[in-house]
Structure 1
Amino acid sequence: MFDRLKSYLDSVRARDPAPRSRWEVLLYPGVLALGLHRVAHWLFEAQLFFLARFVNHFSRFLTAIDIHPGATIGKNLFIDHGFTVIGETAEIGDNVTIYQCVTLGGTNPTNGIGGKRHPTISDNVIIGSGAQVIGPITVGKRARIGANAVVTDDVPEGATMIGLKARSTLIPAEEWIREFIPYGTPCDDPCKEMGAPGRDCVEKLENEIAAMRAELAELRALAGERETAKRSGTDSL
């Protein structure tokens, strides 16, 4: 058990350069919330629902992280900073990283009967701060959810999702093979792919500005020539 705890704390340190020791990591709200969730989940599976909820609410009071006791979580989940919500039927794989203010939310069943209504997050996924992953969708292995993205459809393996509503964006192969990308967003801006609507608009505006500057320069040159010709005519008189 002690070896597993050391392995988990080391996995957190590998993704966060801030702590100077394992003892610091033990104080992280995400680590405390995950430890208490293990207790709450055990109680939930034993159908001790009130006690499970009590542990859940105590954990939320301490950490500002709300993990429903029914959520299934694999190894080495790292919730950085906190303020995260994880729903009852959410399933999280191994080595997943979740930054602050993320919601793994559910859809409301029209028949009022609960079922699988929260996301399934596969292994090695990174979810950036403020992202909202909603519904019984599957986020594929090694996918990256960019900050503030809203994801309501299945995400392919290795995809990087950006925007609202989130869309997949291509990233260079050297970024894709990296084991870990902070906040799920490469620093060299993965939004430069050809055909992105926002990029096209910016390029169009830049071209229009360049054309207007060229026309303005021509008008100034023409006005200068007329002024010179006018002065030359006045001097000859």
Structure 2
Amino acid sequence: MREDIRTARRRDPAARSNLEVMLAYPGVHAVWGYRVAHRMWLAGAHLPARLLSQGIRAATGVEIHPGATIGRRLFIDHGMGVVIGETAIVGDDVMMYHGVTLGGRSSDRVKRHPTIDDGVTVGAGAIVLGAVTVGAGSIVGAQAVVVHDAPPGSVLTGVPARVLPQSDPETVDGGFFSI
């Protein structure tokens, strides 16, 4: 929990105190609830895990399936409308904004949701569909729709998203915009 609070403080310049993050950040609450539901899911308590995840969704506006695999220090800024599907894999140090969907493209019981590697930033309203991989340190622009794999360090924009050419190394800094 302390690590999640520190991450929110580091990622969000509007965060004024640890207490504020602990009490008033729905993205942080959603991640904490997911971690409990995920442990239940792994223990085979699927229905209770799903019920808990739906309660968390009702309380925070963030839906993370308890079967998803989420790494350390995920920060969901603003949270509302984020959906992370059952077979999604989210690496460490990922930042997501409101309205992000990590959705499936198949109804088969296979890996059907995206893999988001370490250090990726996913902009507001972005949609990543299917068993695609977004490489480490990439940035998915707001409202982009990603349906193909992207190599590490990519900047993805558009519908469907395409990888922007890398021309200036100062435009991407470990998944964060540089100023």
**TM-score, L = length of structure 1:** 0.71
Aligned with 1:133: secondary structure?
strand
Query: How far apart, CA to CA, are the structure 1 residues paired with 2:62 and 2:2?
Result: 22
Could you tell me whether the CA contact under 8 Å between 1:95 and 1:124 is conserved in 2?
A: yes
Do 1:43 and 1:51's aligned partners in 2 also have CA atoms closer than 8 Å? yes
Distance (Å, rounded) in 2 between the aligned partners of 1:19 and 1:30: 13
User: Which one of the candidate residues 94, 104, 118 is aligned to 2:92?
Assistant: 94
Cα offsets for 1:130-186 (capped at 9, x unmatched): 0000000111000000000000000110000000010111341112235622xxxx7
More helix by share: 1
Equivalent position amino acid for 1:176 in 2 = V
The answer to whether the aligner puts 1:135 opposite 2:130 as a matched pair is yes
Q: Which runs of 5+ in 2 are unaligned?
A: none
- Aligned partner of 2:31: which letter? L
Q: Against the structure 1 CA distance between its residues 152 and 22, is the aligned structure 2 distance closer, same or farther, given a 3 Å change threshold?
A: same
C-alpha separation in 1, matches of 2:135 and 2:174: 16
CA distance in 2 between counterparts of 1:179 and 1:143 reads 5
Moved over 3 A (4+): none
Larger Rg belongs to? 1
For 1:173, give the aligned amino acid: P
1:222 corresponds to: none
Aligned with 1:145 (options 140, 147, 152): 140
Matching residue's letter, 1:136: A
Equivalent residues, number = 176
The DSSP-based 3-state class of the residue aligned with 1:161 is strand
Please, what is the CA RMSD of the aligned residues? 1.4
Distance in 1 between residues matched to 2:172 and 2:122, nearest whole Å: 15
Matched, 1:63 2:63: no
- Tell me the secondary structure at the aligned position of residue 137 of structure 2: coil
Residue of structure 1 equivalent to 2:4: 8
Partner of 2:25: 28
Distance of 1:81 and 1:179 partners within structure 2: 18
Provide the residue aligned with 2:118 in structure 1.
123
Contact residue 131 and residue 145 of structure 1 kept, 8 A: yes
Distance 1:60 1:46, change over 3 A: same
Counterpart position of 1:176: 172
2-side partners of 1:65 and 1:41: how far apart? 15
In structure 1, what is the equivalent of residue 48 of structure 2? 51
Mapped to 2, the partners of 1:178 and 1:46 lie a distance apart of 35
State how far apart, in whole Å, the 2-side matches of 1:58 and 1:169 are: 39
State the TM-score, normalizing by the size of structure 2: 0.94
Distance of 2:110 and 2:19 partners within structure 1: 39
Partner SS, residue 9 of structure 2: helix
- Within the candidate set 12, 35, 39, 2:36 is matched to 39
Identity percentage of aligned residues: 46
One-letter amino acid matched to 2:113: H
In the alignment, the residues of structure 2 paired with residue 179 and residue 57 of structure 1 have an alpha-carbon distance, to the nearest angstrom, of 30
